[in-house]
Amino acid sequence: MYLTDQEKKMLDGKAGEAVRLAMSILVDLGQGIGAAEMVAIEHVHTDSGFYVGDAGLEFVEHLAALGGKVRVPTSMNNTTYDIERCRSYGVPSALAGKIRRLEKAHLAMEATPAWTCASYQDGILPKSGSMVAWSESNAIVFANSVLGARTNRTGDLVDICCALTGRAPKTGLYLNENRLADIHVTFDNMPAEAFGDARFYPLLGYAIGKQCGNRVVAISGIPKDVSMDHLKGLGAAAASSGATALFHIVGVTPEAPTLEACLNEEQPTRDLRLSPKDIHQTSAVLCTAENDQLDWVGLGCPHFSRDEFNELVACIHGRKVHTDIEATVFTSRKIRRWADTAGVIEQLTQAGFQVYSDGCLLTYPQFINRSGTMMTNSAKAANYIYSQSGYLAAYGSIRECVESAISGKIMRERPSWMGF
């Protein structure tokens, strides 16, 4: 593996022991996956603050104890639970203490404590073409697809090594040829109303991920005024059902001004036509609830945006959550501060919603109840919640989630555009 003089000095320990250790890991990884060289990166979004066991905690603390400092701007993905408020929903003090230790170690290395899985909503927007090293599946696919930045699906703890060195193995989606699509997604008799329905985009993403895996796809037929929240939902769902890291929307995303610009001309293109029936079948897969019984409405996977908060408040319209229903929203620290200043937190609290930051919706119920049924507007959450926390799921719009929370039972409507 070719290394520049500067990279050799890092590997030789001339930039400190923390950098030497980080670079040695990246070199071993790069050689293992066949990277010819390293790429200099401009930004890291690290998942090394997500507590999943003591080994990761000890590794991060070891790097900090060695005097490691990030070489490029580094934001942090959400951690397991809300750092400030997790004790209120039953997280043991010992576990909460370990999450605080992770925060302390990252702060010592001068990472930014964004604690969000949707860093792009906090104004962290790398330019098109810039090389970054991001973790968190929904952030990765958003950076590659919507922003046009370049990142692989950076592994946990590998990401903090990238931050300390400013390098990543140059392979995968850092290379031009690997960013071209060989699957072309179009629509078969899809009514125009579907593209104005927020429910459609996560279902579309889930269907694409399920059928295309980790392949790069080009999608034709999406309106140019598609919102960032719709693209967020599409990407998060595709990344959860199929490990999607990059999609192109013709006429919308930066690398797809035309279909020809984003297709791989050296390989046959597979055509995938999706109909309302396909979307309906996907919706059925994401509803594992056995009846209309409901225990929990969970929103914010990925973390809630300002527009989603505004829609939530408008849907509640002064009403209150049923006394038998738990209702929670997860967001970033930055957006939570905005929501607090704007009076949104007060309105939601009065209605019976709890608003958390830092943490993950998927791990929230682990210390509340180990089973039940959740309703959510997130296809990603509906896909993962049973394996993470033992809950059945029902997928629906924000409005349907609100109506369900207030009535105390699952309230879903089949969209007319599904046609049957």
What does the mean pLDDT of the chain come to?
96
**pLDDT at position 420:** 58
| Residue pLDDT, tens place only, 193-220 | 999 999 999 999 999 999 999 999 999 9
- Amino acid in position 289: A
pLDDT at 370 over 80: no
In contact, 373 and 393? CB cutoff 8 Å: yes
Mean pLDDT across the stretch 92-121?
97
Mean pLDDT across the stretch 91-112?
97
Strand partners, 272: 185
Mean pLDDT across the stretch 331-342?
98
Cα gap 418→420, rounded to integer Å: 6
Structure tokens at 95: 């576990």
Identify which has the larger pLDDT, 233 or 370. 233
**pLDDT at position 268:** 79
Structure tokens at 389: 């926390």
Mean pLDDT across the stretch 31-42?
97
pLDDT at 59 over 80: yes
**pTM assigned to the model:** 0.96
What share of the chain in percent tops pLDDT 70? Answer: 100
pLDDT band at 266 (very low <50, low <70, confident <90, very high): confident
Strand partners, 150: 131
pLDDT at 13 over 90: yes
